[in-house]
């Protein structure tokens, strides 16, 4: 099959859940010898490390677009759609609702099948203006009703959308996680002034929905002398919230690593004592699954997508409640982790199985 992919900033080594999803999924789909995959990327996220990356049976087409909250996704998706119209794809796979706005345009000029994956409800994010939220609402309807096949990454999203729209063909295929080889080196964490098992970590983009501000306040209230808080991630675009968050972190001695991947992130996960996910919203919590894959003890907000992971009761705290989070952090640090996550993850969130399910969905649509 000849497949086009629209809706990711790109990969490898690009921050974001959709970006991680796309790299893991398409690197596996491309192993099937008859698949030829073209991924449309955005040049602001490319550098000397990833621009010339090579994967079997994957070609990258890169478009130069402004790094802009309001224009970047819209312009890139339009350019990618126009290019895709002339490529004689069997399938074009759109990711999330902003890019999906252009599905009808693509269908006017081609007989290729369109598959749409819904990752999260974008218009609920506080960073968007009223106009942008209205556009994303419209894009949601267009994406879900105009695609030949819809993939939801969770049952929660599926139920929400089926209550709103009549959707023809769909399937729930979750995100996955790799079981890593923990790092044997500690030079990176030492360069940050960290000690093995001497810090609590959280990972994500600097959006209000991630709840890093109340995590910092809860950690401060816990009064953990000698234990540090590390937040790995950054913002795509400077915002008032991200600037306030960085100032709050500096005031409280929080270590901000910026966006890290590869060996640096491996070390951060390998030697962490506890991972905390403080999100108000998630589509599917990839970072939480990644932390679990390192056998780190975890603590997560009790929003429905995180509850769906199926952790124990003591692994959750009331979302937005910094006092409850403080108490749960102290509880976690005063007892040892009691169970392993690896077998659970291998059975339920296996990327090889997910890729095989997705390939079957593609072939059913194409036939």
**Can you give the chain as a three-state secondary structure string?**
CEEEEECCCCCCCCCCHHHHHHHHHHHHHCCCCCCEEEEEEEHHHCCCCCCCCCECCEEEEEECCCCCCCCHHHHHHHHHHHHHHCCCCCEEEEECHHHHCCHHHHHHHCCCEEEEEECCCHHHCCCCCHHHHHHHHHHHHHHHHHCCEEEECCHHHHHHHHCCCCCCCEEECCCCECCCCCCCCCHHHHHCCCCCCCEEEEECCCCHHHCHHHHHHHHHHHCCCCCEEEEEECCCCCCHHHHHHHHHHHHCCCEEEECCCHHHHHHHHHCCCEEEECCCCCCCCHHHHHHHHCCCEEEEECCHHHHCCCCCHHHEECCCCHHHHHHHHHHHHCCCCCCCCHHHHHHHCEHHHHHHHHHHHHHHHHC
| Distance from C-alpha of 328 to C-alpha of 218, rounded to nearest angstrom | 10
| Distance from C-alpha of 70 to C-alpha of 92, rounded to nearest angstrom | 24
Q: Is the CB of residue 201 less than 8 Å from the CB of residue 230?
A: yes
pLDDT for the residue 367: 66
pLDDT for the residue 130: 82
Among candidates 126, 127, 120, 125, which has minimal Cα distance to 143? 120
The region that residue 225 occupies, defined by phi over 0 for left and psi between -120 and 50 for alpha, beta otherwise, is beta
**CATH no., domain 187-346:** 3.40.50.2000
**CATH no., domain 2-176+350-366:** 3.40.50.2000
pLDDT for the residue 134: 84
Q: Is the CB of residue 203 less than 8 Å from the CB of residue 287?
A: yes
In the predicted model, residues of the chain with pLDDT beneath 50 are none
285-299: b (≥16 Cβ within 10 Å) or e: bbbbbbbbbbbbbbb
∠ CA 239-240-244, rounded to 5°: 115
**Residue 5, C-beta contacts closer than 8 angstroms, at least 6 positions apart:** 22, 26, 37, 38, 39, 40, 92, 93, 95
The dihedral sign for the CA sequence 238, 157, 265, 41: negative
pLDDT for the residue 132: 76
Read off the pTM. Answer: 0.86
- Tokens describing residue 65: 């677009």
pLDDT for the residue 32: 81
Strand order in 255-258's β-sheet?
255-258, 228-232, 199-203, 274-277, 297-301, 316-317
Q: Is the CB of residue 19 less than 8 Å from the CB of residue 10?
A: yes
pLDDT for the residue 119: 93
Beta bridge partners of 290: none
CATH 3.40.50.2000 range(s) for the chain read 2-176+350-366, 187-346
| Distance from C-alpha of 48 to C-alpha of 46, rounded to nearest angstrom | 7
Strand 316-317 with 228-232, pairing = unpaired
């Amino acid at each position: 099959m000849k497949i086009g992919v629209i809706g990711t900033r790109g990969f490898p080594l690009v921050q974001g859940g959709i970006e991680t999803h796309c790299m893991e999924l398409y690197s596996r789909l491309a192993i099937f010898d008859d698949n030829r995959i073209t991924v449309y990327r955005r040049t602001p996220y490319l550098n000397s490390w990833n621009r010339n990356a090579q994967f079997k049976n994957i070609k990258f087409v890169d478009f130069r677009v402004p790094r802009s909250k309001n224009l970047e996704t819209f312009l890139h998706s339009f350019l990618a759609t126009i290019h895709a119209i002339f490529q004689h794809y069997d399938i074009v796979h759109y990711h999330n609702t902003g890019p999906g706005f252009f599905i009808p345009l693509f269908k006017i000029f081609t007989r290729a099948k369109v598959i749409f994956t819904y990752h999260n409800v974008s218009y609920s994010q506080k960073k968007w203006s009223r106009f942008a939220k209205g556009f994303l609402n419209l894009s949601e309807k267009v994406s879900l009703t105009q695609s030949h096949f819809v993939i939801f990454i969770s049952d929660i999203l599926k139920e929400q959308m089926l209550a709103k729209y009549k959707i023809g063909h769909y399937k729930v295929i979750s995100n996955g996680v790799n079981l890593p080889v923990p790092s044997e080196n500690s030079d990176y964490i030492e360069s940050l002034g960290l000690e093995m098992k001497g810090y609590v970590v959280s990972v994500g983009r600097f959006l209000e929905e991630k709840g890093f501000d109340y995590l910092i306040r809860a950690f401060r209230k816990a009064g953990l002398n000698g234990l540090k808080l590390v937040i790995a991630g950054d913002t795509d675009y400077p915002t008032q919230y991200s600037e306030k968050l960085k100032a709050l972190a500096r005031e409280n001695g929080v270590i901000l690593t910026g966006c890290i991947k590869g060996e640096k992130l491996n070390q951060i996960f390998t030697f962490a004592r506890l991972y905390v996910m403080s999100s108000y919203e998630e589509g599917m919590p990839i970072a939480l699954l990644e932390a679990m894959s390192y056998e780190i003890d975890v603590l997560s907000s009790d929003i429905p997508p995180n509850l769906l992971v199926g952790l124990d009761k003591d692994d959750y705290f009331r979302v937005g409640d910094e006092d409850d989070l403080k108490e749960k952090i102290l509880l976690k640090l005063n007892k040892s982790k009691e169970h392993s996550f690896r077998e659970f993850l291998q059975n339920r969130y296996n990327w090889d199985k997910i890729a095989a399910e997705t390939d079957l969905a593609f072939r059913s649509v194409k036939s």
